[in-house]
Structure 1
């Protein structure tokens, strides 16, 4: 799949360490309204200590299906039940 984001591949984004380590799939994505930051999280509960800063291209390599929602606007979020389910809008 081709990199689908309008943001540059070297844009900083947040991913939880569970996703980065390959332990859990991405099940929640937010595109923050305040700063435009992307967050890619799993279904675990998270604290600030769980966050890792990576490039958007790295997040895309972890799970190319995030490209399906690369156009969500600032202030919105999507979620899915597991790594194979479809994305749906949710409160951010």
Structure 2
């Protein structure tokens, strides 16, 4: 049996003008031996510093079950986790909320970190959150930046890893605008479908709402 990460509900709540949108993404994990876990992660646009939250729950109703809570933060060009006391979210598979010390002493903590890593690799909303955490930059054509054209072509440069977002008009490098990739996803969540583009790859679509096609 393969590992399954099943994306669930995405809850978006508009905050005030300072903090922007609060997002919480929920899902279910099934391991290769049928191991079960539920998870939730979230972030708030405009928050400073950029720190996200994570809850992973196992063993609801069983001895040894619990819900583990952590923060996710930028670390050495990537991300890292740290256990916290404060509960973040309730999840279906989760038992009682565990403090950081209780979680550290729990025999299933290595499994929890493995689940967390799998979620960050496989849940598209986690890719979005990671770009927010890392403040990933992208180059957008003027029309895309000003939202007068939809994004129809996306590339992930092989050399420097820069993302490029282009609309219907011919790209003019002299008018390109530098922005954050997570803001572009905020405006067009269909980009979630291509956030796994490797370096050197690109994707196109015929119009807004059309499916993305990875270029050969």
TM-score interval, smaller chain: 0.7 to 0.9
Deviations 1:47-86 (A, max 9, x none): 1122100011111112111111100110000000001100
- Larger relative contact order (Cα-Cα within 8 Å, sequence gap ≥ 6): 1
Where is the strand percentage greater, Structure 1 or Structure 2? 2
Q: Deviations over 1:27-61 (max 9, x none)?
A: 00000000111111112112112210001111111
Q: CA RMSD in A?
A: 1.8
How far 1:3 moved relative to its partner? 5.4
| TM-score between the two structures when normalised by the length of structure 1 | 0.87
Equivalent residue, structure 2, for 1:51: 176
Maintained 8 Å contact 2:144/2:151: yes
Q: Is the 8 A contact 1:26 1:42 kept in 2?
A: yes
Which runs of 5 or more residues in structure 2 are unaligned? 1-9, 11-124
Offset, 1:89: 1.6
Query: Which of the pair has more CA radius of gyration?
Result: 2
Runs of 5+ unmatched residues, structure 1: none
Matched residues in 2 for 1:43 and 1:4: separation? 26
Please say if 1:86 is aligned against 2:211. Answer: yes
Question: Residue 5 of structure 1 contacts residue 71 of structure 1 at CA under 8 Å; is this kept in 2?
Answer: no
- The match for 1:12 among 137, 142, 156 is 137
